[in-house]
Structure 1
C-alpha cells in the first residue's frame, strides 16, 4: 500500500501568516532606503523565499539596483556593505513581523482538517532563527502550531535547495517524499519542493507574487481578481509546481485528491523478464 500524505510543509510569510508577505518586503525596502537606494516593491519581492542574506545579495545584483547603488555611493557595493545591511535588516525584520503576524483567512480550519487526515505540520522559512521563532510564537497564539519549525540558519543552503524540507521530514519522521507536500507562495518555495522530490504546491491569493493585503485583494473587481489569480498560478506552473490553489482553504481537498491518486496509480510500469 502506498503511503498517503503524512506531512505538509508550509512556508510562513505569504502562505500561513502575513497575507501578501508584507513583513519581509517592507523590511528590505527600509534597509535599502537607509543606504539612499529607493527600490521598488517588485525589486524587493523578486528573490522572496530565499535565505535573507542571499536575498539582499540578489537584490544588489539586479541591474537597476546595482546602478542606483553606484550612483548614490560612487562605487560598487562589497561584502562589507552586505554584512552591514544584513545587520541592520534583522531588527527591522523583527519589527515588521510583529506588525504583520495575522494568520491568513481559513488557515486554522484547513490545518485542523489536515490533522484529521493524518498529516503532521511543519514550517520552513528564509528567516533567521530569532525571526522564525517570533513568527511561530505569534502564529501559535492565534491557533496555528507546527510540529517542526526549520529556518535557513538550520541548513547549509536555503531555498531553492531542498534541505529545509528534508530537515522537516527528519524531525517529523515523514517519508518518502511522495508522502510530503511543500506549499509556498514564492518561486523559490516551488523550486525547493520540486528539488526535494515531494509534491510542490503554490497558494495564490496571499502570495508575495500577488503582493496585496487581504483587504486590497478582496476589493478587486471580480474579473481582475480572477485574472491576477491566473497570472500567479501560471508563474508557479512555470517554476515547476505540481498544483496550485487559489486559497489555503482548498488545501485539504487537494490532499484528498493526492491520496486517492496515489492509491490508484500503478506501483510499477514493468519488470524485466
Structure 2
C-alpha cells in the first residue's frame, strides 16, 4: 500500500518548455565547450556541478578548478531570467493529482535537483507554495542532500520528513532515467512519465515498475497498488 508519492518537478509535474536544458547548455558553452542537446539530455537531473564539468570535458574544454561552480551560478541566472519572462506551467493537472492523493491520506513530496533559490519563485508562480501548502507535505531540494539523482537521498529525505519508514510504501515518479535509478537505489516503487526527458523504451530498460503518459495517471497506479495489497 502506497503511503507516500514523491514527484520530480521539471518534466514531471512542471512543463518549462525545455528551459532548464537550454540554460544548462548555455552555461556550458559559455566556457567554449560545444555540446549537443543530446549530450545535455544525457546529464539531465544529475547534480549540476558534476554535470557542467562532465559536459565541459565532453565539449573539449578542461574543467579548471572553480569554473564548473562559477557556471552553476550562471545557469541559475539564465534559468531565472527565462522563467521570469515565460513562466512554466503545471503538467496534466498536477495540483489536482496532489489533492486526490491527499484526500486518500497519501503524503505528497516534491523532489528536485534544483536548489531552493531556483525553486521557490517557480512554486510561487504556480500557486503551490506556500498558498496551497496543504497540497504538498514537503519539498526536498538539492540544498537538502549531499548528492542528487541517481543517489536515493532525495527520496529518503522525503520519507524522513513525512514519517514513512517502509520504502515499499513509496512511489517515486519522474521523467528521466536518473529519477528511476534513484527510485531503484532507494528501494521504492518507480513510475516513469513520458512528459519530459526520458523515452519509454529507455525507462523500461532501466526497470520502471510503471510507465505512464503523465502524472494524471498516478492516482490509478496508487489504486491498483492498494487493490493488490
TM-score, scaled relative to structure 1: 0.76
Structure 1 counterpart of 2:70, from 56, 74, 84: 84
**Matched ranges for 1:118-129 at <5 A:** 118-129=105-116
Is residue 31 of structure 1 aligned with residue 18 of structure 2? no
Could you tell me how far apart the structure 1 residues matched to 2:52 and 2:14 are? 22
Structure 2 counterpart of 1:5, from 2, 6, 24: 2
Does the CA-based 8 Å contact 2:28-2:56 persist in structure 1? no
Residue 40 of structure 2 corresponds to which residue in structure 1? 44
Structure 1 counterpart of 2:197, from 208, 212, 215: 208
Is residue 185 of structure 1 aligned with residue 175 of structure 2? yes
**Matched ranges for 1:86-101 at <5 A:** 86-98=72-84, 99-101=86-88
Residue 59 of structure 1 corresponds to which residue in structure 2? 55
Structure 2 counterpart of 1:18, from 15, 20, 23: 15
Deviation track 1:49-74 (CA, whole Å, cap 9, x = no partner) reads 11222221232243xx12xx3xxxxx
1:186, CA displacement in angstroms? 0.7
**SS of the residue aligned with 1:14?**
coil
Could you tell me how far apart the structure 2 residues matched to 1:55 and 1:158 are? 11
Deviation track 1:203-253 (CA, whole Å, cap 9, x = no partner) reads 01x1123xxxxxxxxxxxxxxxxxxxxxx1221122221111012211111
Does the CA-based 8 Å contact 1:182-1:198 persist in structure 2? yes
Does the CA-based 8 Å contact 2:31-2:56 persist in structure 1? no
Deviates most, 166-175 or 98-107: 98-107
**SS of the residue aligned with 2:109?**
strand
Residue 118 of structure 2 corresponds to which residue in structure 1? 131
Larger Rg: 1
**SS of the residue aligned with 1:167?**
helix
Structure 1 counterpart of 2:159, from 146, 160, 169: 169
**SS of the residue aligned with 1:79?**
coil
Could you tell me how far apart the structure 2 residues matched to 1:162 and 1:186 are? 14
Does the CA-based 8 Å contact 1:17-1:139 persist in structure 2? no
Could you tell me how far apart the structure 2 residues matched to 1:29 and 1:236 are? 23
**SS of the residue aligned with 1:149?**
strand
Does the CA-based 8 Å contact 2:28-2:52 persist in structure 1? no
